[in-house]
Structure 1
């Protein structure tokens, strides 16, 4: 175990840079914060490079069997590295998992994320897709960074549980249709009530940007546009809430 006391230490400066997308992409690493995420990473076989703990933090014995460099820091340093108001006493530098080359399969269940910009929404959507038992998630252009700290924390570890691929959604849509997987796009107009969607073994659901929704080109090429009935006076639902409702309804129709 190595001890760092100074805020000007080169390692501290380097790890702090991982708060930026540019540095994450440059190094192929990102930060995990809190014991739950680190436990999920270890359980999934993710590669931890460094683990930084606050003084007096109690490490689990099984964690110490992993191949990472362990550092101890005072509370003031942990606060510098943390992106939360109340640091949980442990942060890890983790290698980005390699993207799988192909995740589509016959009767598979997938989620397309089209330009969702809020990291918290994206993380919650990924967590929901994991909970609903999906086979993979495709992230389209304009979507928040998968390895943003808020995204990672909002996934609650689901980032390690299912394949997540950055891909041109037009191409992904075409690939799904070639496997006879119906693609449903969310829409507030010219759409079928989700309760009227026919039974299907596999499916892909497209959810869109918080303000503008799914881009028209994807709506036009989808198998069917679907909507959630609104019974009150709200005009629409938060994208992560809508994703959960639709995924569970589609799963129910399997």
Structure 2
């Protein structure tokens, strides 16, 4: 097994960095690093080619999961063992498993758009649980990839990764700096989902060509700029007194219509 250095102080620079990466999107962006916690998600990253920087394990985990830790350690540049009490201070979970990988955020900022592909785009989605739910549904339905605006929640936050059950590490994800313009430049046909009685019903749309479905912010919906760049504004017909749907629910229904 790779040699494990020991850390005992909460003032250690790596301990401080790990805490910042857990809580701060700014720290993740500045360091181009993010945190994976728990065996399942660490091995999801392992299997999908995510580069490991450091492996940190608690004393208990070191003894409890020797084979798993050995495998993960071979991919990490540096490995550390710390007391259980110190691990709890850097963990983002209430009952930590005792395994953290500090991983490198993929530096390839985009992926090659398949002109015949079908994508889901989320503009300024704020809730990591919504992002995670959309990602899981997208993977299950065979959507080609996930497109995000820069102003939305961080796909590399612990909450997003946990909510997605690792899907965000398995699916192509692109973050667009200039969302409306960059989306238009993909050459895909843009369908923006809105709450508008004048918009075309989604079940009337033919998604046979390369397409991207846009779902907007939970409170404010899709921006006017993106609406103007869209090829079609579409809506989900609703019965009863419901006026709108949760963003993740709207995305799931829309993706099912696109992929059927």
Q: Do these two structures clear the TM 0.5 threshold for a shared fold by scoring above it?
A: yes
In 1, the alpha carbon distance for the partners of 2:204 and 2:224 equals 22
| 1:186 and 2:179 matched | no
How far apart, CA to CA, are the structure 1 residues paired with 2:51 and 2:151? 28
Q: CA deviation at 1:32?
A: 0.8
Residue pairs, 1:166-181, within 5 angstroms = 166-167=175-176, 168-176=178-186, 179=187, 181=188
**Could you say which residue in structure 2 is the equivalent of 1:3?**
6
Give the match for residue 217 of structure 1: 225
The residue number in structure 2 matching 1:35 is: 39
TM-score, length-scaled by structure 2: 0.87
1:62 aligns with 2:71: yes
Superposition map of 1:187-202 within 5 A: 187-189=194-196, 190-202=198-210
- Helix, strand or coil for the counterpart of 1:204? strand
Q: Per the alignment, do residues 48 and 102 of structure 1 end up closer, same or farther by CA in structure 2, a change over 3 Å counting?
A: closer
Q: Which residue of 1 aligns with 2:52?
A: 48
Corresponding residue of 2:215: 207
Match of 1:200, SS state, is coil
1:199 CA displacement: 4.3
2:185 is paired with a residue whose SS is helix
**Which residue number corresponds to residue 95 of structure 1?**
104
- The alpha-carbon distance between structure 1 residues 89 and 231, as it changes in their structure 2 partners (threshold 3 A), is farther
Structure 1 unaligned segments of length 5 or more: list them. Answer: none
Give the alignment's Cα RMSD to 1 decimal: 1.9
Match 1:133 to one of 135, 142, 148: 142
Query: 1:183·1:224 contact (CA, 8 Å) conserved in 2?
Result: yes
Report SS of the residue matched to 1:56.
helix
Kept in 1, the 8 Å contact 2:111–2:173? The answer is no
Q: Say whether residues 1:156 and 2:131 are aligned partners.
A: no
Question: What's the TM-score, normalizing by structure 1?
Answer: 0.89
Q: Which residue of 2 aligns with 1:16?
A: 19
Structure 2: which 5+ residue stretches go unaligned? none
> Matched residue pairs, number?
249
